[in-house]
Amino acid sequence: MARAPLGAEHAGSPTQWLLSTPRATLVARGGDRLSAPIGPGQFAALAGAAESALRAGPAGAVVVGAIPFDETTTRAHLLLTRVERRAHQPGRRPHAVAMALQEADRPPWPPAATAGPPLPRVEDPPPAAYLSAVRDALAEIRGGTVTKVVLARTLHVSLPEGRSYRELASALVSSLARREPTAHLFSVTVSRPHPDAAGAVLVGATPETLLRRSGDLLTVTPLAGSIARDPDPAVDRARATSLLRSAKDRDEHRHVVDALQRLLAPLCRTLDIPAAPRLHATSRLWHLSTPIRARLRRPAPSSLALACVLHPTPAVCGTPTRRAAALVRAVEPVPRRYFSGLVGWMDQSGDGHWVIALRCGEADPRGLRLYAGAGIVRGSLPDAELAETGTKLATMLGALDDAHGAAPAPPSPADPLPATSPTGAPR
């Protein structure tokens, strides 16, 4: 593959990729595209291509990008490039993100002087159809086809006339930097959603890191099982306690941890998995979390190779994986594309950080499509799963309200219980 110098596309190029943790914001502009054919084996082929490109690349080269949920329907978007890292204190992240966007070629979305009329929204599937899909999934679980399946729904929001979707993406990530202080923020230019469309922008604020590799140290932090938070601290504490005690949610979480243990055991010298999950807080939800630490066998697989082995986990797909993925393809009316896929980076040593693309949306000239999913297991209640997706959609809808000039959302509840801290910021 012929390549221009890695810096050639950087000056004056738009921000192609941004990943921000509470302590550092990473930005890449331009680079060389890496690709593999859509279909079974795409992810493994991409990991190999990325490793080869990094070995042949100049010192300081990094691979960044986004990997879709389903390798058989959507092409991954990876770049061989250089990354600019901006360290900052957690409270300074909104400024760092704003500066990164200001230096790109996306002008800011002009704030509205007053709240505008609600933007047209279409739910796909509609609530009644989603409830029916959950009931069908429960029938599959009772029949033994799957033990868990994650079902997503989407909300498509039309853009106001004359507004740019790229400007909207910038406004959304800026709002999320203010609203979601503990989340991993991302903004990635990805492949076209339609043959006649320009490149889309994937933007979101995920609570979940799939993995981070540093030398032979691997950390994996799955989330599964959740409950909505409440502004009243006493009610919020009670909800957190009920989540820890919920047999249904602990069972949902166990499916994820058991699957990760099976996949990781052959690759690791040591594997430390806590016996019980702990709580992880976001602005709107409590999650069950199990921080896994492992020492990899030598030679250690690269972070992207490991990510492709684990993805998609039961936290975003279900188990057994192939059956759950087939059910997702059959039931969900809108392809997920990059929702519940991966966003991250890998350096020339194979170290890297990959997060799961949750609490996100994809902006393109046709509008903004938001995504949310819920894990269905034995004991799931359709109405509760629908409500959970609504709570998850609210993260992006709140940011959209900021951009559209709507009245600000009420403040997020304070954390009444200790929550696990996010995975460490990239170096």
Q: 314 preceded by cis ω (within 30°)?
A: no
Q: Tell me, what's the pLDDT at 414?
A: 34
- Which residue among 9, 51, 180, 208 is the active-site one? 208
Q: Which residue has the higher pLDDT, 147 or 119?
A: 147
Distance, CA of 210 to CA of 423 (rounded, Å): 10
Mean pLDDT, range 11-19, rounded to an integer: 66
Q: Which of 34-48, 95-109, 253-267 has the lowest mean pLDDT?
A: 95-109
- Which residue among 9, 140, 148, 167 is the active-site one? 148
Distance, CA of 210 to CA of 307 (rounded, Å): 7
Q: Are 372 and 392 in contact (CB under 8 A)?
A: yes
The separation between the first and the last C-alpha atoms of the chain, rounded to the nearest angstrom, is 29
Q: Tell me, what's the pLDDT at 112?
A: 52
Q: Are 36 and 58 in contact (CB under 8 A)?
A: no
pTM of the model: 0.88
pLDDT digits (tens, 9 = 90+) for 181-203: 999 999 999 976 666 556 799 99
Question: Is residue 208 pLDDT above 50, yes or no?
Answer: yes
pLDDT digits (tens, 9 = 90+) for 76-86: 999 999 999 99
Tokens at 143, concatenated: 């029949």
Which CATH homologous superfamily contains domain 6-109+119-404? Anthranilate synthase (3.60.120.10)
Mean pLDDT, range 119-124, rounded to an integer: 90
pLDDT digits (tens, 9 = 90+) for 262-311: 999 999 999 999 999 999 999 899 999 999 999 999 999 999 999 999 99
| Cβ-based neighbours of 175, under 8 Å, separated by 6 or more | 398, 399, 402, 403
pLDDT digits (tens, 9 = 90+) for 395-419: 999 999 887 764 333 333 333 333 3
Per-residue confidence at 352, pLDDT binned at 50, 70, 90? very high
Q: Which sequence spans correspond to the domains of the chain?
A: 6-109+119-404
Mean pLDDT, range 320-326, rounded to an integer: 95
Smallest Cα–Cα separation from 350: which of 50, 86, 84, 21? 50
Catalytic (active site) residue 9: no
Inter-CA distances, 191 with 83, 338, 365, 417, Å: 20, 10, 13, 41
Catalytic (active site) residue 248: no
**Which residues partner with 372 through β-bridges?**
153
Q: Tell me, what's the pLDDT at 420?
A: 29
Q: Which of 104-108, 116-120, 158-162, 282-286 has the lowest mean pLDDT?
A: 104-108
Q: Are 208 and 217 in contact (CB under 8 A)?
A: no
Q: Which of 67-71, 99-103, 344-348 has the lowest mean pLDDT?
A: 99-103
Q: What's the whole-number average pLDDT of the chain?
A: 87
Mean pLDDT, range 344-365, rounded to an integer: 97
Mean pLDDT, range 239-246, rounded to an integer: 96
